[in-house]
Amino acid sequence: VLRRCQICRGEMRFSHREYAGKGSVAPVWRCTACGALARESARAAEPREAPASRRKRQLVDEGPPQNPVISPDVAAKLLRDPTPDA
């Protein structure tokens, strides 16, 4: 069954689907003559296929996070009170 544009009675072609909320989609049709868009009433979205056999690779051998290295100089400064009383 051909859809007809309500404006110019031209032929409507399926354009895309729009998300219509609550897991439903609404097919959107486009007039091949004047380009008018017509959205159908929403209907339940098609179930998505689960991506098959695409396992995430586990990160290996990264080891524990390294501690930032503080030089003895800096450590000594940090231990001292840096704010002398005036």
What residues make contact with Zn ion under the rule CB under 5 A?
A: 5, 7-8, 10, 31, 33-34, 36
Using a CB cutoff of 8 Å and minimum separation of 24, what contacts does 39-46 make?
45/19
Nearer to Zn ion, 6 or 77 (CB): 6
Please, are residues 6 and 35 in contact by the beta-carbon 8 Å criterion?
A: no
Closest CB 13 distance from Zn ion, rounded Å:
11
Nearer to Zn ion, 6 or 44 (CB): 6
Alpha carbon distance 39, 12 (integer Å): 11
Nearer to Zn ion, 33 or 45 (CB): 33
Closest CB 45 distance from Zn ion, rounded Å:
27
Closest CB 4 distance from Zn ion, rounded Å:
8
Alpha carbon distance 63, 9 (integer Å): 67
